[in-house]
Chain A
Amino acid sequence: MLKLLGAVLVVVAGALAGFTRAAQYADRPRNIRGLIAALQRLETEILYGYTPLPEALHRIGQQSKGTLQAFFTAAAEEMSPPLNRTAEEAFKRAVEQHFRSASLKGAEKEIIRQLSCTLGTSDRSNQSTHIALALQQLKQEETVAREDQGKYEKMSKSLGLLLGVLIVILIF
């Protein structure tokens, strides 16, 4: 009886691990898409709204969902008084806090880091160029992430379950 319970636990654990992995594959393209939408809004705020960066980020945070909301709100807070950090520092901290839980990887981190160095430090047309570049890079990452999702999402689910079953078979 106890053996059976153990076996069930192992299989369930394996399946859960597989599902978590699969969820990460599904999350990444979704969050990249969210990031793209957010940057497009940022571009509008800068180009047409002349909105100061902290305020623009705060607004975008409110319009975003889930982790991205936390990410942009955190960046906006880092830049507002009393902290008053530069855009570069603020984004660096926000990335460290929130990107892992959003299943975002090194490539996106690097894109955001590069963008943050120039955000707010030049005129509007220059800002627009930099945001457009970041958008383009993010779109590439999105394609890659979607391919990964197609390839590995289902596989991870089955693999997790099968691994659990394998362990059970080996033990018995």
Chain B
Amino acid sequence: MANDWLFLFPEKVRALLSGLPANLLARLEEVRVREGRPLEINYSGKYHFLCGNGSLTQQPAEAYKPSREDTHRLLDLISNHSLYTMEEELRKGFITIPGGHRIGLSGRTVLSGGGVEHLRDITGFNVRIARELPGIADSVLPYLVERGRQRIMHTLILSPPQHGKTTLLRDLARQISTGSTAGRDGSRPGLKVGIVDERSEIAGSRRGIPAFDVGPRTDILDGCPKAEGMMMMIRSLSPEVLVADEIGRHEDAEAVTEALHAGISVVATAHGKEVAELARRPGLGGLLEHRMFERYVILNRTEAGLTFRILDGQKRGLLLITPDDHQGGERRA
């Protein structure tokens, strides 16, 4: 099961990648394949090119350059030899494969009526390797539970791309859904969690079955547009907590407002570094202005590890959790 994504690559590239040291493979985040240009890998926030003999380099000229044959085979394998089943995915520009890994595509777009209709001559691939990190939310979750009422507070998780928003969100969903028997605040029952998984990233569903552990009381609407999905969830699945990734558009904000007024806790993520920055964005500004969220978690990943900053609804700092603190100790920010 580990490194199942390796089987996606054509032989040559697969051989190069599986030749990498195991501890590096375990930390690998992205593999970028561009036809005729250096093969790039990213791990721990740094990039490297991969040479034909398996060593790493910073010099593009020395690196292995995937051939047309390589990219063709890669596309053939990720589409299960059937590109025609991927029309919707091609329009969105990415394919999610079993295991929840997401592959971003670049190529030439074919337009129809001004919108992107199709992607052809696909020559660029960004394979983002999804990982489960059970326990990553351990230190955050206690601050999102309202004391006494066993309710999850409306939470917005903020970070730039590639800092682990989705991973944190996934673990939050799992822990909220599972509940706990021996928490700091005593036992907490599991809650009904509804995940609107527009990009199949949170649960990594394949044929409706989640590839990741998202908890026993979790329902997933897979591949559903967020705004519509949130409304569907509210109407039909009676969730106590709604989970959505990367909200940002006007419709999303409306749906979140709807959920909040329906008494459902919302845990969502958004791209951004600071809360203030977010307030200026057209879609989310209103939500922040009306103080819809009660908690903000700001993620930042450095080489040392993850840093969480937790703010309350008035954007006052509550807590800073640094990599050294993950074992249990925390300090006030």
Contact = CB atoms under 8 A, between A and B. Distances in A.
26 contacts: A46-B84, A52-B81, A52-B85, A53-B82, A54-B80, A54-B81, A54-B82, A79-B81, A84-B7, A86-B73, A86-B81, A87-B76, A87-B81, A120-B76, A120-B79, A120-B81, A120-B82, A120-B83, A121-B76, A121-B83, A122-B84, A123-B84, A123-B87, A123-B118, A124-B84, A127-B84
A81 interface: yes
| Minimum-distance CB pairs A-B, first 5 | A52-B82, A120-B81, A53-B81, A53-B82, A124-B84
A73 to B, nearest CB: 16
Interface in B279-306: none
B145 interface: no
Interface of A is mostly: loop
A81 B8 CA distance: 11
A81 B77 CA distance: 10
B14 to A, nearest CB: 11
B80 A52 contact: yes
A121 B79 CA distance: 9
A123 B107 CA distance: 15
B83 A50 contact: no
B76 A86 contact: yes
Contacts of B120: 122
Contacts of A54: 80-82
A50 B84 contact: yes
B97 to A, nearest CB: 13
Q: Which of B76, B79, B82, B118 has the most CB of A within 10 A?
A: B82
Given A81-B7, A84-B77, A86-B73, A124 B82 contact: no
Interface in A116-139: 119-124, 127
Nearest to B73: A86
Contacts of B76: 86-87, 120-121
A4 B83 CA distance: 66
A83 to B, nearest CB: 11
Interface residues of B, number: 17
A104 B120 CA distance: 35
Interface string B59-101: 0000000000000110111011111110100100000000000
A139 to B, nearest CB: 24
Interface string A12-52: 00000000000000000000000000000000001000111
Given A46-B84, A79-B81, A123-B87, 19 more contacts: A46-B82, A51-B85, A52-B85, A53-B80, A53-B81, A54-B81, A56-B82, A84-B7, A84-B77, A86-B76, A87-B81, A120-B79, A120-B82, A120-B83, A120-B84, A122-B83, A122-B120, A123-B83, A123-B118
Nearest to B85: A50
Q: Which of B76, B90, B118 has the most CB of A within 10 A?
A: B76
Q: Which of A81, A84, A122 has the most CB of B within 10 A?
A: A84
Contacts of B87: 123-124
Contacts of A86: 72-73, 76, 81
Interface in A121-164: 121-124, 127
B90 to A, nearest CB: 8
A165 B151 CA distance: 98
Nearest to A46: B84
Contacts of A50: 84-85
Nearest to B110: A123
Nearest to A87: B81
Contacts of B72: 86
Contacts of A127: 84
A86 B76 CA distance: 7
B207 to A, nearest CB: 12
B119 to A, nearest CB: 10
B201 to A, nearest CB: 22
A46 B90 CA distance: 17
A132 B147 CA distance: 67
A127 to B, nearest CB: 5
A165 B22 CA distance: 76
A20 B75 CA distance: 45
A56 B81 CA distance: 11
A153 to B, nearest CB: 39
Contacts of A79: 81
A81 B6 CA distance: 13
Nearest to B84: A124
Interface in B20-79: 72-73, 75-77, 79
